[in-house]
């Protein structure tokens, strides 16, 4: 016989209207306890959010400070460079080469800054033309806004985490869609590498996908598979298995959702990376930022992929 808890017993009496005054007081007391627990949890959550906001604010301030410091250093470098070249002309001492060594890095820096600003302006214009919300880099907590986003491999790469820029927000087929540039750096010293990619993130609360990572298979992946590195292969479609590396915690669940149509689609469309974090799904091409003129096509491709996993 199933044991009935005190709470269930009281619930049944409430439904039947058989509560005594003492039991009514007991119910009221339980309600107060639950409210206190809820308030405590809410207060703890608010405190965590405040701490996160403070961290983000400090990070933004540090970022702006170092950005300005670099700007001043580059301006100083240009002034020193021109000073050395001028000194070379008036004194006939060969300091012009040293001057160029100061000017060229600064010139490259300012050129890259100008290109970034131009890209941001073009993406902003694209957002207005397509009815999207332009968030720029104000949504840098995107990977913290969902527990499922934390499970995505891309957002766990980098020495100190990545950064977002040129963030757009819209909806596609009952899903929130974020489009953004994502950058991260791996390694140190001579082995340091910087990666940039344009990402589409689809967030659908009612979705329940198994966690998986799909990306182009490289030669070193094939070597790794010999030593036990996971790769979900399909004997029914060797073409897909040769082109893509597919990994995840629940291999059986992954095989269930990757039917023949999906395998054929990815076999015919190489170079894509897709990751699932249960409710969140991202689509991108590793280390490839999409040109603004190709952004509509990229979003269309990403939406097709997202719809396959609805």
Give the tens place of pLDDT for each residue, 120-177: 999 999 999 999 999 865 554 554 456 666 778 998 887 777 888 999 999 998 899 9
pTM of model > 0.75: no
Please give, one letter per residue, the 3-state secondary structure of the chain: CCCCCHHHHHHHHHHHCCCCHHHHHHHHHHHHHHHHHHHHHHHHHHHHHHHHHHHHHHHHHHHHHHHHHHHHHHHHHHHHHHHHHHHHHHHCCCCHHHHHHHHHHHHHHHHHHHHHHHHHHHHHHHHHHCCCEEEECCCCCHHHCCCCHHHCHHHHCCCCCCEEEEEEEEEECCEEEEEEEEEEEECCHHHCEEEEEEEEEEECCCCCCCCEEEEECCHHHHHHHHCCCCCCCCCCCHHHHHHEEEECCCHHHHHHHCCHHHHHHHHHCCCCEEEEECCEEEEECCCCCCCHHHHHHHHHHHHHHHHHCC
Q: Classify residue 99: in a domain, yes or no.
A: no
Residue 282 has pLDDT above 50, yes or no: yes
What's the rounded Cα separation, in Å, for the pair 53 and 55?
5
Q: What angle do CA 176, 179, 182 make, to 5 degrees?
A: 130
More confident residue, 271 or 35: 271
Q: Classify residue 80: in a domain, yes or no.
A: no
Q: Classify residue 79: in a domain, yes or no.
A: no
Q: Classify residue 280: in a domain, yes or no.
A: yes
Q: Classify residue 119: in a domain, yes or no.
A: no
Q: How many domains does the chain have?
A: 1
Residue 189 has pLDDT above 50, yes or no: yes
Q: Classify residue 283: in a domain, yes or no.
A: yes
Q: Classify residue 43: in a domain, yes or no.
A: no
Q: Domain range for residue 203?
A: 134-308
- Which of the four pLDDT bands, split at 50, 70 and 90, describes residue 58? low
Q: What percent of the chain has pLDDT over 70?
A: 62
Q: Classify residue 19: in a domain, yes or no.
A: no
What's the rounded Cα separation, in Å, for the pair 264 and 278?
23
Rounded mean pLDDT of the chain? 78
Do residues 137 and 182 lie in contact, with contact meaning Cβ atoms separated by under 8 Å? no
Give the tens place of pLDDT for each residue, 76-135: 666 665 665 555 655 665 554 555 555 556 556 566 777 888 899 999 999 999 999 998
């Amino acid at each position: 016989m199933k044991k009935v808890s005190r709470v269930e017993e009281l619930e049944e009496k409430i439904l039947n209207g058989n509560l005594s005054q003492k039991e009514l007081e007991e119910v009221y007391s339980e309600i107060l306890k639950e409210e206190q627990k809820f308030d405590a949890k809410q207060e703890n959550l608010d405190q965590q959010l405040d701490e996160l906001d403070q961290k983000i604010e400090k990070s933004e301030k540090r970022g702006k400070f170092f950005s300005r410091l670099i700007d001043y250093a580059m301006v100083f470098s240009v002034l020193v460079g021109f000073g050395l070249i001028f000194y070379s002309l008036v004194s006939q001492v060969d300091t012009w080469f040293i001057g160029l060594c100061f000017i060229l890095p600064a010139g490259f820096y300012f050129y890259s800054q100008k290109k970034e600003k131009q890209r941001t302006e073009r993406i902003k214009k694209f957002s207005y033309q397509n009815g999207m919300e332009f968030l720029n880099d104000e949504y840098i907590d995107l990977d913290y806004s969902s527990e499922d986003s934390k499970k995505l491999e891309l957002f766990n790469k980098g020495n100190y985490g990545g950064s977002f820029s040129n963030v757009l927000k819209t909806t596609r087929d009952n899903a929130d869609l974020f489009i953004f540039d994502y950058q991260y750096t791996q390694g140190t010293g001579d082995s340091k590498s910087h990666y940039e990619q344009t990402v589409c993130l689809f967030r659908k609360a009612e979705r329940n996908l198994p966690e998986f990572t799909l990306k182009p298979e490289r030669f070193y992946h094939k070597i790794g598979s010999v030593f036990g590195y996971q790769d979900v292969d399909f004997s029914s479609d060797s073409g897909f298995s040769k082109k893509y590396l597919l990994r995840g915690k629940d291999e059986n669940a992954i095989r269930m959702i990757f039917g023949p149509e999906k395998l054929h689609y990815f076999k015919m469309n190489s170079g894509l990376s897709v990751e699932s974090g249960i409710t969140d799904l991202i689509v991108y091409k590793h280390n490839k930022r999409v040109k603004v003129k190709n952004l509509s096509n990229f979003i269309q491709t990403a939406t097709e992929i997202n719809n396959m996993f609805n």
